[in-house]
Structure formats: C-alpha cells, structure tokens
Amino acid sequence: MNTHHLCLGILSLGEASGYEIKKAFEETFCHFQATSFGSIYPALAKLTEQGLVSFREETQEKRPTKKVFTITPAGHEHFYQTLLKSEPAEQYRSDFLFLMMFAHLLPQEHIKTLLNKQTENLEMELGILERILTECQTLTPGMRFTLEYGVTGNKALLKLMQQRSLQLLNEIDAARSPQES
C-alpha cells in the first residue's frame, strides 16, 4: 500500500484536493498511515496521467486556486482490485521500545523521561481517536472499527505503562547495584 493507493482510497469516499488528502491523513488516519505533500502531489499527477483520477480547477475568493480531484470509473475498478489482492499486513517500528531495550545503559532520570513521554504520546493519541469517534457522525462501519482498534491498543498499553514503569526502573536498578558495590 503506497501513497497512490492512499490517495485513491480517500478519493473513493469523495472528491478532494491534495491539501485536503493530507489533512485527512493528519486527522482520521494518522494512527495507522502517514504521508507527505512530497509524495501526494506527484502521486496525483501520476494517477491523472493514468486516467484513474481527473480534476477541475476551482478558483476561490481570498484563497489560492485549488485542484479538486475526482476518482474515475477506471480508478474505482483499479482501487477495488488493489483491495482484493492486498494482504492484511502490519508494520510497527518503535524507537521507544528500542530505547527501552538498552535502558540499562541510560541514567535513571532519562529512562523516567522517556517513559513519561511515551505515556503522554499514548494519551494524546487516545484522546484524538476518542474525540473523532464521538464527534464524527459520518463514519463508515470500517472507519469506526479502525478507531476502536486504535483505542483498544492504546488503552491496554497505557495501563501497562502505569503498572510496569516503576517495576522496570527497580529491575534496572537491581541489575546495576551488584556491579557498583
């Protein structure tokens, strides 16, 4: 799944400009997909070239002119085929867990800071997901599911962070002490 597919996906829900597609990824999909302008604009140009989307220019008062993209029937078909042949893969990369692996090398205060930041990050994301779930009325069942998936994971991890943080610090301390004495 690359930026081309992400753009087609958003456009399958309704027309949008490149800027609006980016916003969708910052708002509704940020917890499981991300992309940047540097990928979106070239992707839209390529999709237009391939006839999978078309656009009209919309002049606005007091705002720059924007290109509003619409998915074509060929685009719908192409996106459908992509969905059918895609595997439900996941990739998770965590610098936080990598840092925790080497917590025994770090000063206790620094570990505390990292654990607090991670907890804050999880809380912030949880807040965003819950806000969308309650505020947005136009969500498809699938979208609601993805948000609940995020909420469930974050809640469980937050609980672990609260239960295990102190224990981790003590364990590291205990492993360090024998060598210092």
Is 21 exposed, middle or buried (CB count within 10 Å of its CB: 0-12, 13-18, 19+)? buried
Write the CA distances from 61 to 41, 64, 68, 136, integer angstroms: 23, 8, 15, 28
Smallest Cα–Cα separation from 143: which of 29, 34, 33? 29
Residues 103, 168: contact at Cβ < 8 Å?
yes
32 binds a copy of itself (CB under 8 A): yes
Q: Which of residues 13-72 bind DNA (CB under 7 A)?
A: 17-20, 23, 34-39, 41-42, 44-45, 60, 62-67
The entry of a copy of itself, DNA, none that residue 3 binds, CB within 5 to 8 Å by partner kind: DNA
Q: Are 28 and 41 in contact (CB under 8 A)?
A: no
Stretch that binds a copy of itself, among 37-45, 52-60, 61-69, 79-87 (CB under 8 A): 79-87
Work out how close the CB of 15 gets to DNA at its nearest, in angstroms, rounded to a whole number.
Answer: 11
As a whole number of angstroms, the distance between CA 98 and CA 126 comes to 22
Task: Give the shortest CB-44-to-a copy of itself separation in angstroms.
Answer: 18
C-alpha gyration radius of the chain: 22
- Interface with DNA by CB under 7 A: which residues? 2-3, 17-20, 23, 34-39, 41-42, 44-45, 60, 62-67
- Interface with a copy of itself by CB under 8 A: which residues? 1, 5-6, 9, 12, 29, 31-34, 79-80, 83-84, 86-106, 110, 114, 117-118, 121, 140-146, 148-149, 152-153, 155-157, 159-160, 164, 168, 171-172, 175
